[in-house]
A and B are shown apart, each in its own frame.
Chain A
Amino acid sequence: MMERYNVSLKVNGELVALNVRAGETLLESLRERLELTGAKEGCGLGACGSCTVLLNGLPTRSCIVMTAELDGAEVQSIEGLADGTDLDPLQERFMEKGAVQCGFCTSGMIMTAKGLLNRNPKADKGDIIRTMSSNLCRCTGYKKIVEAVEAVSSMSEPENK
């Protein structure tokens, strides 16, 4: 008999109650139960970063976290980033700089950048490259992605305004 676990999560500000088997990952819960398909499964082993979401504010690879261990946690996915029709500055700059091609890595890229800027709103180019380079992109190259994150980061510096 499969054992199941009750888990309460706050996902993008909304409380959700899930009943999962121990082996279900956070990525599966998001995509298959909550129909939040923005986070993508790439490698499935925590190496590529396309499944990155914020877990209690920290960028986390949701494919290697078990939902059963998250009772009471807060999750923010790409779907929770915009405020109604107002996009997050990161989303705006990704569009503006053309930092998206096929789009598969994009939500992971943006959530990783979000985690960085939450921690360090004035991240410089070096910080951005170091953080973003652990997420794999196979189309655009990283130049435009780094530029997009840099544009948001420099917005928080008053002297650049």
Chain B
Amino acid sequence: MISSEFKYICPKSIEEALERFGEFQGEAVYLSGGTDLVPRMKLGLKKPRAVIDLKDVASMSTVAEEGDYIRIGSLAQLFQLKQTDLVSNRFPALAASLEATSCETLQVRGTIGGNLLQNTRCLFYNQSEFWRRSKGFCLKMGGEKCNAVPGAKKCFANYTSDNAPALCTLQAEVAFAGPNGSRRFKLESLYTGRSDDPFDLEPGEILTDIFVPNKTVAGGYEKLRVRGAVDYPLLGVAFSRGSDSGRLAVGAVGPRPYTVELNEPAQDAMGEAVATVINQVKTVENTVLESAYRKRMIPVLAERLIKKVMEGAE
């Protein structure tokens, strides 16, 4: 049961959705598949005055070739998306990250847009209200202390989208419609770098499309998790390899994916790329696995992945 009271609204167009959002002065949320939002509402982490369901905005679920890009509607279902030829043939990194996302039953419900805009997670945050109240509210709840790192003045929750790192290696762009017009920018610019408030967005903006450059790029995705059948990533590593360059992106170890360009798409350049990521990453004790282990697994998964991708390319 979701115990808080809210209005349920199901608009038929983006314009109507934006208008209805405006009526609630920032206290509304958008709903797509609900696999992230509904559990958050059940735990009392989110108590909006209105839930605006986007599923009747039909234009947002198609996948199509559009000139130099493949356009993926944000409401495209994860399960269908991974079986779409345009994705599986051209973007193996994305196909692999979609396959690794949660489990089939949730892929059937979840959408790519919802996956990218899922909230950050922490062992001390994604808990019931009773649990959190007993412990004392943390920074992400508007409290004054971090419950994961004693004395810390900033939040360390992890952004656990499997597909964001893969899309970063593919240099994907995201398009938003908002109360002040539309805009389109690189996925990497979506993030604030702050775990308590991870997305650099204006209130009410709706992710409408994801644009991936239309060229076939070899690649893959490796994921660390405890329960292979479902689970959010505790570390995710994506790699895509063009003809003369490569990109590595590491996710679930901070508030955003960490993306690095490799000068040459070869194994030798990988060590340097991994070191660049590791220098930026600070894992803490806020998941079910030890922080040092998660960090040490970055080069392990990266090497395993690049080997697989290079062998596949030969």
Contacts and interface: CB of A to CB of B under 8 A. Distances in A.
A88 B35 CA distance: 29
A66 B34 CA distance: 9
A134 B100 CA distance: 12
A130 B104 contact: yes
A65 B105 contact: no
Interface residues of B, number: 30
A23 B6 contact: yes
A138 B31 CA distance: 32
Interface in A44-81: 44-47, 49, 52, 58-61, 64-66, 68-69
Classify chain A's interface size. 20 to 34
B141 interface: no
Given A23-B4, A25-B1, A58 B38 contact: no
Given A22-B5, A22-B51, A23-B6, A66 B105 contact: no
Given A23-B1, A45-B42, A133-B229, A60 B8 contact: no
B38 A60 contact: no
A46 B35 contact: yes
Contacts of B103: 131, 133-134
Contact of B230 (A3, A22, A24, A134): A134
B7 A3 contact: yes
B41 interface: yes
B3 interface: yes
A22 B3 CA distance: 10
A28 B5 contact: no
B304 interface: no
B109 interface: yes
Interface of B: 1-8, 10, 31, 34-35, 38-39, 41-43, 51, 53, 55, 102-106, 108-109, 228-230
4 closest Cβ pairs, A-B complex: A134-B103, A23-B2, A133-B229, A22-B8
Contact of A23 (B3, B31, B43, B53): B3
Interface of A: 2-3, 5, 21-25, 28, 44-47, 49, 52, 58-61, 64-66, 68-69, 112, 115-116, 130-131, 133-135
B105 A134 contact: yes
A115 B108 CA distance: 11
A28 B42 CA distance: 13
A64 B109 CA distance: 10
Contact of B108 (A3, A49, A58, A66): A58
B1 A61 contact: no
Nearest to B56: A69
A49 B53 contact: no
Residue of B43, B104, B228 contacting most chain A CB atoms (<10 Å): B104
B5 A131 contact: no
Nearest to B110: A46
Nearest to B10: A69
A1 to B, nearest CB: 9
Contact of A64 (B5, B8, B39, B230): B39
B104 A68 contact: no
Contacts of A3: 5, 7-8
B55 A69 contact: yes
Contacts of B35: 46, 64
B5 A21 contact: yes
B100 to A, nearest CB: 12
